[in-house]
Structures are given as structure tokens and as C-alpha cells.
Structure 1
Amino acid sequence: MASAVPAQVRLANEIAVQFHHRPADEAASAIANHIRMFWAPSMRTDLLTRAETDTAYLDPLVLEALRLLRN
């Protein structure tokens, strides 16, 4: 049985879907901004930690957004 996708990963991917129509750099910036503004620090930390070890389920736009959040 495959493991369930963690909630933060699922939520971040759902946000990314809303921005797929925009250029990738704008979309990543908008996703990073949304996460920065609306997510609890513990949720951000969890997502950033997961992205360091397992990117298989993360949308490429989320990965770019996380790179922006780290800077």
C-alpha cells in the first residue's frame, strides 16, 4: 500500500494548480507569497523539511516556490 501524501504537500500542490496558467517565475513567486502569508510557521517548516528529502510528490512550481522561501 502506498503511503498517503502529507497534508502540507497536498495543500501546496493544490495551490500550484491555481497558478499553472501563469509564467513559471510569476507562479512560483505567487505560491511562495501565499505560503508565507497564510501558512503557520510550523506548516512552512514541515514542507521545507519534506522538500529536502522527498520531492517525488511536489509540483515543480512548489519546489521553485520553496527555493524562494529559503532565500
Structure 2
Amino acid sequence: MDASHLIYMANQIARNLAAQGEEAAIAATAQHIRDFWDPRMKATIYAHDRSGLDPIARSAIARLAAG
């Protein structure tokens, strides 16, 4: 799984949900990734450098990675 493509995808999800407001967008982004990404995708993005993530996507990934 290519981490740069996963970062691109996570940023797209976050941007599409940003109009909901920051906290709602973080929760919705995390929920989308939890529901629709397979375990390999999640493991790859959790282990990768998160500096390329937009703030909403970064917060959603951090929330998911923390459990």
C-alpha cells in the first residue's frame, strides 16, 4: 500500500467534510476511515509520517491510531 496515496485519500475525505466544522469533520473523517479502509490501509497510514496530512485528517488519524 502506497502511503502517499493514502495521505492523498485521507486529505480528500477531510476536505470534503470540512464544511461541517472542525470537530465534526475530524469525527466524520475518522468514522469514514474506520468504516471503509481495510486493516492494511489503516496500518500503513498509522505507521507513516503524518506531516503531509491536512490538520483535520491528521487529527482523525491520530484519534484512530490512539484507539
Normalised by the size of structure 2, how large is the TM-score? 0.86
- Deviation per CA, 1:2-57: give whole Å up to 9, x if none: xxx7111010011011011111111000000000000000100111111xxx2331
Q: What is the identity, as a one-letter code, of the residue corresponding to 1:16?
A: A
Task: Provide runs of 4+ in structure 1 moved above 4 Å.
Answer: none
- 1:15 counterpart residue number: 13
Q: Aligned partners of 2:53 and 2:42: how far apart in 1? A: 14
Unpaired segments of 5 or more residues in structure 2? none
Aligned residues: 64
| SS of residue in 2 equivalent to 1:21 | helix
Q: What is the identity, as a one-letter code, of the residue corresponding to 1:68?
A: R
Residue number among 44, 55, 59 corresponding to 1:60 in the alignment: 55
| Identity percentage of aligned residues | 31
- 2:4 counterpart residue number: 6
**Greater share of helix:** 2
1:67 and 1:56, CA in 2 relative to 1: closer, same or farther beyond 3 A?
closer
